[in-house]
Amino acid sequence: MDLGLDGKVILVTGGSDGLGRALCGRLVEEGARVALCARDGDRLREAARGLRAMGGDVLDVVADVTEPADLERFVTGAMGRFGRIDGLVNNAGRSAAKRVGDSTDADWDDDLALKLYGAIRLTRLVLPYLATNGGAIVNVLAIGAKAPGAGSTPTTVSRAAGLALSKALSKEAGPDGIRVNAILIGLVESGQWGRRAAQSGRDVEDLYTAMARDTAIPLGRVGRADEFADLAAYLLSPRASYVSGAAVTLDGGLSDAL
């Protein structure tokens, strides 16, 4: 199926690793032009090199989504290079899970700055440029947004806020032909798990097998980054032209919430 993304310009935060990196590759395969950002310049440049080797027209910008000035530089750079923006993926993030009683103000400030304020600020910057009748925003969240468990904050609270943000924005931006959707991730193979395995001297495949077994994922395995990329690329594409205000779960059946 041709997704109709050829020539579209898509901004992806956290595009240098894991899910974001897989999505950038999928978008390049579809002929989209991609602007990606992350903090670690070496890893970002490496990702951009790989995408260019695939034939991609790619802009890499070292930027921290918690820094408003970095976000402005990211958007200005993308507009300067490509002259238009068709899609935004608020993907940058990391896990942060504690019991409320053990958490500090700094834990909450950090998580909300990364996962909520970063997405709000970047969305505000991009909205005026988003192509009307075809623009799309995808917010990458987690299943905990709908089913927060014990010891899961502040992430689940930030993600629940992201869910509300996605819905409210879909209603505000819909009349301009801009669609807004969320993806709720369960457990999906990515750089963060690879790093966690390396830190504990464990084989990453063993970790994935243990994660699937311990959480009893109905499909019996953790997800693959390319499975995320397929879903996100679809939601960004004109093929999803009547899908807005939706939260799509990508978790192999793990969550109890619909």
Ligand X SMILES: NC(=O)c1ccc[n+]([C@@H]2O[C@H](COP(=O)([O-])OP(=O)(O)OC[C@H]3O[C@@H](n4cnc5c(N)ncnc54)[C@H](OP(=O)(O)O)[C@@H]3O)[C@@H](O)[C@H]2O)c1
Binding flag, residue 185, ligand X (CB under 6 A): yes
The mark string for 96-135 relative to ligand X (x by CB under 6 A, - otherwise) is: ------------------x---------------------
Binding flag, residue 92, ligand X (CB under 6 A): yes
Report the candidate in 93, 123, 88 with the shortest Cα–Cα distance to residue 110: 93
CA 236 to chain centre: 12
- In the chain the first and final C-alpha atoms are separated, in Å, by 28
Question: For residues 21 and 46, what is the distance between their CA atoms, to the nearest angstrom?
Answer: 11
Q: Which residue in 56, 93, 162, 252 binds ligand X (CB under 6 A)?
A: 93
Residues in 34-63 at the binding interface with ligand X, rule: CB under 6 A: 37-40, 43
Q: Which residues contact 94 (CB under 8 A, 6 or more apart)?
A: 114, 192
Residue span binding ligand X (CB under 6 A) among the ranges 10-18, 78-86, 102-110, 127-135: 10-18
Residue span binding ligand X (CB under 6 A) among the ranges 2-10, 121-129, 160-168, 186-194: 186-194
Binding flag, residue 94, ligand X (CB under 6 A): yes
Question: 55: number of CA atoms within 13 Å, CB side?
Answer: 9
Residue span binding ligand X (CB under 6 A) among the ranges 13-21, 77-85, 127-135, 197-205: 13-21
Q: Which residue in 3, 10, 16, 32 binds ligand X (CB under 6 A)?
A: 16
Binding flag, residue 66, ligand X (CB under 6 A): yes
Binding flag, residue 65, ligand X (CB under 6 A): yes
Q: Which residue in 139, 152, 153, 190 binds ligand X (CB under 6 A)?
A: 190
* Amino acid found at 69: A
Q: Which parts of the chain are beta strand (E)?
A: 9-13, 33-38, 58-62, 87-90, 97-98, 136-142, 153-154, 179-185, 247-250
Contact status, residue 134 vs residue 87, Cβ threshold 8 Å: no
Which residue number, 7 or 48, has a Cβ lying nearer to ligand X?
Answer: 48
Report how many residues bind ligand X under the rule CB under 6 A: 28
Residue 34, SS3 per DSSP: strand
Question: For residues 172 and 137, what is the distance between their CA atoms, to the nearest angstrom?
Answer: 13
Q: Which residue in 3, 10, 11, 20 binds ligand X (CB under 6 A)?
A: 20
Binding flag, residue 17, ligand X (CB under 6 A): yes
How far apart are CB 170 and ligand X at their closest, in Å?
19
Q: Are strands 179-185 and 136-142 parallel, antiparallel or unpaired?
A: parallel
Q: Which residues bind ligand X (CB under 6 A)?
A: 13-14, 16-20, 37-40, 43, 64-66, 91-94, 114, 140, 142, 185, 187-188, 190-192
